[in-house]
Amino acid sequence: MMRPLSDYIKTIQSDVTADLRGTVVDFLVRAAKSYRLKSNTLYLTVSYIDRYLSCNAIGSERLLLLGAASMLIATKYNETTPCHVEDICYVTDNICDKQEVMEMESDVLKILKFEMGGPTIITFLQRFIKAGQKFGKRKSPVRKCLAYYIAELSLMDYGCIKFLPSVVAASAVYLARFTVDSSIHPWNEELWRSTGYKAHELKECVYALQELQSNKRCSSLGAIRDKYEQDKFKCVSILRSREDILDEWWEKEI
């Protein structure tokens, strides 16, 4: 399955910007929450958008339509009870009409050659979190929610497309562990063996995620932060990691 290009806004698109992409993803996060969609449905939706934009130039006015059609496809692929096209139109305040969504749905399927599966960030994240829990003395619900939150933040940032889903997942686990307890090394041998990554291989991605966590990037996009401020997610979006000592751990490789 084709991965999205990390530079498609520069090489393929002429009217779509990183900020506009982020705004549409932010909208889709709220839509997914309102319909109580599975987490992976959101990840698939964003994957379809980025893969489509890597192949086909569109006008900025059609980006929301692409997002709506991509979410419709993702629910059909991943949900037990998928959304109807009318649901998708409704959530856009009928900016997108039924015929437009159906036509875009057909175009997305054709451009992506009906390759709608494949691993997403959450595929790896679930496995890596379990690996981290094996090593710990006890499970940490806060750390788990925090890893999910940090990973989801990456969807907003066009700059994170360049990282493999497995790298983002591993980096989210690393940063979550560091945020909860910065006095011990966030990485260990079990995580290294489970993820296939040594700590220093995650450095660039961890720093990118930390900037998202600290609101230095995509600060105007609040859907994910609002979502994870809820008690059921342990209010993890209010947590911050210490930037002053993160550098120290790269020198202490596990």
Tens digits of pLDDT across the chain (254 residues): 789 999 999 999 999 999 999 999 999 999 999 999 999 999 999 999 999 999 999 999 999 999 999 999 999 999 999 999 999 999 898 899 999 999 999 999 999 999 999 899 999 999 999 887 765 555 689 999 999 999 999 999 999 999 999 999 999 999 999 999 888 889 988 899 999 999 999 999 999 999 999 987 777 788 999 999 999 989 999 898 887 666 776 666 65
Q: Which of 219, 38, 13 is nearest to 120 (CA)?
A: 38
- Residue whose structure tokens are 């889709």: 28
Residues whose CB is less than 8 angstroms from the CB of residue 36 and which lie 6 or more positions away in sequence, other chains included: none
* CA dihedral for 31, 67, 159, 5, sign (positive or negative): positive
To the question of pTM greater than 0.75 for the whole model, the response is yes
Q: Which of 1, 24, 2, 3 is nearest to 160 (CA)?
A: 3
Residues whose CB is less than 8 angstroms from the CB of residue 246 and which lie 6 or more positions away in sequence, other chains included: 178, 182, 206, 207, 210
Angle between helices 18-34 and 39-53 (to 10 degrees): 150
CA distance 50 to 9: 10
Domain 8-111 and domain 121-250 have a common topology: yes
CA distance 53 to 22: 14
CA distance 250 to 225: 28
Task: State the distance between the two ends of the chain, measured CA to CA, in whole angstroms.
Answer: 33
Task: Please give the CATH topology (third level) of the domain spanning 8-111.
Answer: Cyclin A; domain 1 (1.10.472)
Q: What is 121-250's CATH superfamily?
A: Cyclin-like (1.10.472.10)
Indicate the domain borders of the chain: 8-111, 121-250
DSSP letter, residue 216:
S
Cβ 153 vs Cβ 183: under 8 Å? no
Please state the φ and ψ torsions of residue 137, each to the nearest 5 degrees.
-70, -30
Task: State the CB neighbour count (10 A cutoff) for residue 240.
Answer: 11
